[in-house]
Structure 1
Amino acid sequence: MKSLFKLSLIAMLFAGLASCSNDDDSNPNINEGNAKLALRLTDAPGDYEAVFVDVEEVVIKYNGAQEDVALGINAGIYDLLELTAGVNVLLYDDEVPAGKISQIRMILGDENSIVVNGEVHPLATPSAQQSGLKIQVNETFEPGVLYEFMLDFDVDKSIVSQGNGGYSLKPVIRASSVAESGAISGKIFPAGNLTMITAVNGPIEISTYANAQGDFLLSAVPDGVYTVTIQADLALGLPAVVVENVIVEQGEVTNMGVINL
């Protein structure tokens, strides 16, 4: 069964954007007028107790522009492992200059850390702090049009264990346009605490955890036919369940119903 896929927008107005985002008439890649942009941060799960990321700023790079446009985002320190089962953080929801966008860059602060076996370790992110986590977009924003992106931070592929016992961040982030994608939902029984759901279609791999009630949502899933694997919480001692030929269509959520483990 399918239903219309809607993600509600939270109204957040940020002062000061207009002063740093004036149109540049000499640059043909920046158009007159403004587009609407919403950025949401979510997470593909990783085998850690917590991963705290200090998000300070997001900037947009326009093709051919000499200066980037800095956004007044909902900055803060976020535990990425809490952003599963359809939970996400709205980083930005406001206007930006219309034009040809090449990159979105997320700049991190110093308060990044990881929790392993109850111990907190600093998470080294030197390149991210200096130049930002580069997310390729390559899309033209038209005046008056809303563009909503889900930034899917793949923790498991982004954390590198160093030989000295430390940890560093080499980020892997997937950016998907919500308007050009769909979603997969369902309910797992029994739920467990760490039941992971993974959808695979060729090189595309999207994962999340079910919540305490067993509900899950894989968001910003591109069109296609997926193989969905449900790996039960190890404490339950149950084998994985594999469901093939799960079809995802643009603008819709594919509801897999109740999946018994």
Structure 2
Amino acid sequence: MKFAICNLGCKVNNFEANWYSEKLKEKYLQVDFKEFADIYVINSCTVTNMASSKTRQMIRRAKKQNPNAVIAVVGCYVQIEVGKVDVFEECDILIGSNNKTKLPELIEQFLLEKKKINIVEKFQKTNFEEMFIQNFNQTRAYLKIQDGCNQFCSYCIIPYARGRERSLDADSVIKQAKQLILSGHKELVLTGIHTGRWNDNELELVDLIERLLNEVKEMERLRISSIEVTEIN
């Protein structure tokens, strides 16, 4: 069977789309989203009206390309708009901003049972959902260490779409970083929705950076994405 992924939105969405791709390749063949596929995954965005519109367009495009395909929509647009827009009636699997790592098994479940799946849930106290990608086809590797936002700026929907801040614990970050370097990557990029707000109990981002520099000796370069200038210590 063939699958295709359309990714919309931020760098974290891009990381998550790569994770979906890596996992689904274990059982299926990946093709371009413009091609005929048996499974279409739309990694959605809703940070702007344009992003929301693009998500709806991609759902309709997938349905047009193969009316019998499995259509799975994941992420922010689903979290915000589920139950509000008719386009979701054309979808088989709906996953919000929690339980994203269940996507591969939910696709298998749908293929067996042919029953629509909706696991969108309201945010309560949510733990960090770990996604680790072993190999990137480049020198640079990405490591997702943070998700969510607590700022609730009046112009921004992200806290409602992504939920409250949560972080990957420091020991897991170090472990994953070492694995990526051993895989041949020379540069690591720490990524998150609000990376500067990473924390692990009393530890802050500056403490994590210090540990990475001291403990991951073979790393040649470390980059930090999505950090505010006010968060530089």
What TM-score do the two structures reach when normalised by structure 1? 0.29
More strand by share: 1
If each structure's helix is expressed as a fraction of its own residues, which one has the higher value? 2
Larger Rg: 1
Q: Which has the higher contact order (CA 8 A, sep 6+)?
A: 1
TM score, norm. by length of structure 2: 0.32
